Homo-oligomer: A and B are copies of this chain.
Amino acid sequence: MARKIGSSSEITGPRIRDAALRLFARHGFASVSMRQIAAEVGVQAGALYLYTADKQALLFDLMQDHMTDLLCALQALPQCSDPAAQLDQFARFHIGYHLDRPDAVFIAYMELRSLSADNFAAIESLRRRYEDHLQGILIEGAAKGRFIFGDAKMTTLALIAMLTGVTNWYREGGRLSRADVQTLYADMALRAVSVAIE
């Protein structure tokens, strides 16, 4: 037997990417074999190579799409001029976006070292753009005298690490709701740069 009934690239392609995303997130890129991904989709390993050049490209595409989508969604946020409102919005956005895509986020932070040098550089530059957005908010807030903090770059990285950490423990249906978590993290971020809350 060869071509399967009901088969089409519009179905198999996304199914491969979904399976790879889930398996990479759960077990790690290096531990997942092409055969495992294929089995999840219900095809033979060879069929994967109609949809990706190789395993590395599969990982890179997943990461690049995630980062691109993230930057797009960030761009689409409504503008506001008050620094505290901007930081609050950023924190809520980051938490919400990350809680919606736990697997993609996990991969984007854990599998950087599985990328080839070129691919790593490409992803790092996208990530850098995201960080720069937050850093811009912090610097503007400091210039306007609304924020106080020690070092803009370090504070940026510390805040992003803090916010991203939510994916390590948050589970749907737990003690705290999504909105609770967004508020609590946003408030912590604001206080961390000396904005009084309540």
Interface size on A, residues (CB 8 A): 38
Q: Once the chains bind, are B168 and A154 in contact (CB under 8 Å)?
A: no
Interface residues of A in 28-50 (CB under 8 A from B): 28, 30-31
Q: Does B158 contact A162, Cβ atoms closer than 8 Å? A: yes
Interface flags for A158-177 (1: CB within 8 Å of B; 0: not) read 11111011101100000010
Let me know if B114 and A31 touch, CB within 8 A.
Answer: yes
Q: Does A150 have its Cβ within 8 Å of any Cβ on chain B?
A: yes
* Oligomer: number of copies: 2
Shortest beta-carbon distance from A76 to chain B in Å: 26
Restricting to A132-154, which residues have a CB under 8 Å from any CB of B? 148-151, 154
Residue of B nearest to A150 (CB): B184
Closest to A154 in B: B184
Complex contact A161–B168 (CB within 8 A): yes
A154 vs B167: C-alpha distance when bound (angstroms): 12
Contact check, A155 vs B113: say whether CB atoms are below 8 A apart. no
- The CA-CA distance from A160 to B180 in the complex, in Å, is 19
Apart from A151-B180, A191-B193, what are 16 other A-B pairs with CB-CB below 8 Å?
A26-B113, A28-B30, A28-B113, A30-B30, A110-B110, A150-B184, A151-B184, A154-B181, A155-B188, A158-B165, A158-B188, A160-B165, A161-B166, A162-B162, A165-B165, A192-B192
| Residues of chain A at the chain B interface (Cβ within 8 Å) | 26-28, 30-31, 110, 113-114, 148-151, 154-155, 157-162, 164-166, 168-169, 176, 180-181, 183-185, 187-188, 191-194, 197
